[in-house]
Amino acid sequence: MTEKYDPKVYQALGITEQDLEPATAEEKASNDQMRPSLSYWKDAFRRFRRNKLAIVMSILLLTIILLAIFGPILSPYTYKGQSADVRQGPSLAHPLGTDKLGRDIFVRLMYGTRISLLVGFVTMILVCLIGITYGAIAAYVGGLCDNLMMRFVDLMMTIPSMLIIILLSVVLRDPLKALIENPSFTALASLGSGLISIFIVLALFNWLGMARSVRGALLMNRTQEYVLASEAMGAKSKWVVVKHLLPNSIGVIIISATGVVPSAIMTESFLSFVGLGVSAPVPSLGSMANDALNGISSYPQNMIYPAVMISLIILCFNVLGDSLRDALDPRMRK
């Protein structure tokens, strides 16, 4: 057995007596250079910022949104104002030329972009309202109610939605027209019955995914101790859901919500393209593409503008959705 302070052992290990002195405050501080602890949101934002493509797409989307808002306001033309200057090429007066009725294509394109973005955002909000409420009720009530509610979602998912969407968007138009002529709904009248029926139809068939993921996230969070603690202190179920469970599922909600936007925009442009969407003369990117189809060999540019715009908008939302999912997924945290 060796002695407690055997210099030979120190020598063999290459340790001098100074190494065993207690560390000074300075040395302690220099050792403390750990990463400051980040909150979930700061961490997510840091990861999002590192994704260059996502930043480029955010800037692009912001530009498109600003153009869509201010383009029609600043331009001297309106989307339905016709003139004798038919089928003109790009010029200073008309940056993208005019169509077969002499309408300024730039203003129509921006107006159509407005419609597309509006469809995306309004559908997203409606889907969040329906999906979160439905999912939260199913998860919190549980039991037979949950089972029935989820079987209903399963059944809805098996219905080929496009067929019903097409039919329903036509059916809803007339009752809606009667409704918005009612003086108490004048705020909605400016949107037009075609657009409102699209909002409703798209929301009706897109909330299923949201309801499922919200329910899943809530069920996962519900088993945690803090919920038990809150319930033990006498919290009502509404409090638990609204104050604890939903805020902790916000990542899942954001991911599903951003997924809804591009698919809603795509469906709207398809409906308008086959002539069942927004009613003329209000331009939608889909109906502009449909109008351009007749003169496509002589005036291909009239097709290219709306086509590129739809694809750009959808691309932006797809990339943003992907990078948000990467940023918000806690498993990606390093």
Which residues are at the interface with another protein (CB under 8 A)?
A: 155, 158-164, 166-168, 170-171, 173-174, 262, 266, 269-270, 273-276, 289, 293, 296-297, 300, 303-304, 307, 310-312, 314-315, 318-319, 322
Q: In the bound complex, what is the minimum distance in angstroms from residue 222's beta carbon to another protein?
A: 26
Sign of CA dihedral 197, 201, 204, 208: negative
Q: In the bound complex, what is the minimum distance in angstroms from residue 262's beta carbon to another protein?
A: 7
| 115 and 79 Cβ atoms separated by less than 8 Å | no
Q: State which residue, 228 or 274, has the beta carbon closest to another protein.
A: 274
| 123 and 114 Cβ atoms separated by less than 8 Å | no
Question: 115 burial class (0-12, 13-18, 19+ CB within 10 angstroms)?
Answer: buried
Q: State which residue, 33 or 158, has the beta carbon closest to another protein.
A: 158
> What distance in Å separates the CA atoms of residue 295 and residue 170, rounded to the nearest whole number?
27
Q: In the bound complex, what is the minimum distance in angstroms from residue 285's beta carbon to another protein?
A: 9
Q: State which residue, 179 or 307, has the beta carbon closest to another protein.
A: 307
Q: State which residue, 218 or 276, has the beta carbon closest to another protein.
A: 276
Q: State which residue, 23 or 274, has the beta carbon closest to another protein.
A: 274
DSSP secondary structure string for all residues of 143-174: HHHHHHHHHHHHHHHHS-HHHHHHHHHHHTHH
> What distance in Å separates the CA atoms of residue 225 and residue 89, rounded to the nearest whole number?
67
> What distance in Å separates the CA atoms of residue 237 and residue 215, rounded to the nearest whole number?
15
Q: In the bound complex, what is the minimum distance in angstroms from residue 314's beta carbon to another protein?
A: 4
Q: State which residue, 105 or 319, has the beta carbon closest to another protein.
A: 319
Q: State which residue, 96 or 319, has the beta carbon closest to another protein.
A: 319
Taking the CA of residue 19 as centre, how many other CA atoms within 13 Å lie in the half-sphere pointing to its CB?
A: 6
DSSP secondary structure string for all residues of 181-196: HSGGGHHHHTT-HHHH
DSSP bridge pairs for 98 = 104
| 85 and 75 Cβ atoms separated by less than 8 Å | no
Percent of residues in the chain assigned helix, strand, coil, to nearest 5: 75, 0, 25
Q: In the bound complex, what is the minimum distance in angstroms from residue 28's beta carbon to another protein?
A: 39
Q: State which residue, 6 or 154, has the beta carbon closest to another protein.
A: 154
Q: In the bound complex, what is the minimum distance in angstroms from residue 328's beta carbon to another protein?
A: 17
Q: In the bound complex, what is the minimum distance in angstroms from residue 215's beta carbon to another protein?
A: 19
Q: In the bound complex, what is the minimum distance in angstroms from residue 91's beta carbon to another protein?
A: 23
| 16 and 10 Cβ atoms separated by less than 8 Å | yes
